Amino acid sequence: NMGITRDRTHKRRKTGGRREQLRKKRKFELGRPPSLTKIALAGTVKRVHTVRVRGGGIKLRGLRLDTGNFSWPSRGVARKTRIIDTVYNASNNELVRTKTLVKNAIVLIDATPFRQWFESHYLLPLARKKEKKSAPKAADKPADGADKEGADPGAAGGPISFTRSKKTMKKYLERQKKAEVPPALLEQFASGRLYACLTSRPGQCGRADGYILEGKELDFYLRKIRAKKTK
Amino acid sequence: MAELNERAFQKQEVRGKKGRRNHYVKNVGLGFKTPREAIEGSYVDKKCPFTGNVHIRGRIFTGVVTKMKMQRTIVIRRDYLHFVQKYQRYEKRHKNMSVHLSPCFRDVELGDIVTVGECRPLSKTVSFNVIKVSKARGGSKKTSFQKF
For residue B23, pLDDT beyond 80: no
How far A217 CA sits from the closest chain B CA (Å)? Answer: 6
How close A129 comes to chain B (CA, Å)?
A: 33
- Cβ B9–A221 below 8 Å, yes or no? yes
Query: Is B87 at the interface with chain A, CB within 8 A?
Result: no
Domain housing A37 = 29-118+182-230
**Which band of pLDDT confidence, cut at 50, 70 and 90, is reported for residue A158?**
low
What pLDDT, on the 0 to 100 scale, is given for residue A56? 94
A110 part of a folded domain:
yes
pLDDT at site B145: 65
Tally of CB atoms within 10 A around B140: 12
Q: Is residue A96 part of a domain?
A: yes
pLDDT band for A168, please (50, 70, 90 cuts): confident
Write the pLDDT tens digit of every residue in A36-57: 999 998 888 999 999 999 999 9
Cβ–Cβ gap B11/A104 under 8 Å: no
Percent of chain A past pLDDT 90, that is, above it, reads: 64
The β-bridge partners of A48 are: A62
Residue of chain B with shortest Cα separation from A216: B9
pLDDT at A142: 40
B11 to chain A: nearest residue by CA?
Answer: A217
Q: How many residues does chain A have?
A: 231
pLDDT(A213) > 80: yes
A2-6, A153-157, A201-205, B36-40: the lowest-pLDDT one = A153-157
Q: What is the Cα–Cα distance from A44 to B124, expressed in whole angstroms?
A: 43
Domains of chain B by range and CATH? 56-134 (2.40.50.1000)
Within-domain flag for A215: yes
Rounded Cα distance between B120 and B78, Å, is 20
Q: What is the mean pLDDT of residues B2-21?
A: 63
pLDDT band at A144 (very low <50, low <70, confident <90, very high): very low
The residue among A141, A193, A138 whose CA lies nearest residue A165 is A141
pLDDT of residue A133: 44
> What does the pLDDT average to over A199-212?
95
Task: Give a yes or no: residue A198 inside a domain.
Answer: yes
Q: Which residue of B has its CA nearest to A11?
A: B124
- pLDDT tens-digit map of A64-89: 999 999 999 999 999 999 999 999 99
Q: Which residue of A has its CA nearest to B97?
A: A14
Q: How far apart are CA B46 and CA A68, in angstroms?
A: 27
**Total structural domains in chain A?**
1
Asked whether the beta carbons of residue A91 and residue B7 sit closer than 8 angstroms, the reply is yes
Q: Is the pLDDT of residue A27 over 80?
A: yes
Residue of B7, B9, B94, B128 best to disrupt the A interface, most CBs of A under 10 A: B9
**Which is nearest to A99 in space by CA: A46, A39, A43?**
A39
Asked if residues B36 and B25 have their Cβ atoms less than 8 Å apart, the reply is no
pLDDT of residue B22: 58
- Tell whether B86 lies on the interface with A, counting CB pairs under 8 A: no
Residues of A with CB under 8 A from a CB of B: 8, 11, 14, 90-91, 104, 216-217, 220-221, 224
Among A11, A90, A216, whose Cβ lies nearest the Cβ of B7?
A: A90
Chain A hits for B8, CB-CB cut-off 8 Å, are 90-91, 104
- Local confidence band at A196 (pLDDT 50, 70, 90 cut-offs): very high
Specify the CATH number for the domain of residue A47. 3.10.290.70
Q: Is residue A132 part of a domain?
A: no
Task: Please give, rounded to a whole number of angstroms, the shortest distance from the CA of A212 to a CA of chain B.
Answer: 14
Calculate mean pLDDT across residues B86-99.
97
Across the interface, whether the CB atoms of A224 and B11 are under 8 A apart is answered no
Find which of A9, A14, A221 to mutate to test the B interface (most B CBs within 10 Å of its CB): A14
Q: Which string of DSSP letters, residue by residue, matches chain A?
A: --S-B--STTSPPTTS------S---GGGB-------EEPPTTSPPEEEEEE-TTS-EEEEEEEE-EEEEEETTTTEEEEEEEEEEEE-SS-HHHHHTTB--TT-EEEEE-HHHHHHHHHHH----S--S-----SS-SPPPPTTT--TTS-TTSTTTGGGS---HHHHHHHHHHHTT----HHHHHHHHHTEEEEEE-S-HHHHS---EEE--HHHHHHHHHHHHHHHH-
Q: Is residue A6 part of a domain?
A: no
Closest CA–CA distance from residue A59 to any residue of chain B (Å): 25
ipTM: 0.75
Q: pLDDT tens digits for B54-68?
A: 999 999 999 999 999
Share of residues in chain A with pLDDT > 70 (%): 85
Considering the domain boundaries, does residue A210 fall inside one?
A: yes
Within 113-142 of B, beta carbons closer than 8 Å to A belong to: 124-125
CB contact under 8 A, A216 and B9: yes
Q: How far is A14 from chain B (nearest CA, A)?
A: 7
Question: How confident is the model at residue B1, as a pLDDT?
Answer: 39
Tell me, yes or no, whether A175 lies in a domain: no
Residue B141: is its pLDDT beyond 70? no
3-state secondary structure of B36: helix
Question: A152 pLDDT band (50/70/90 cuts)?
Answer: very low
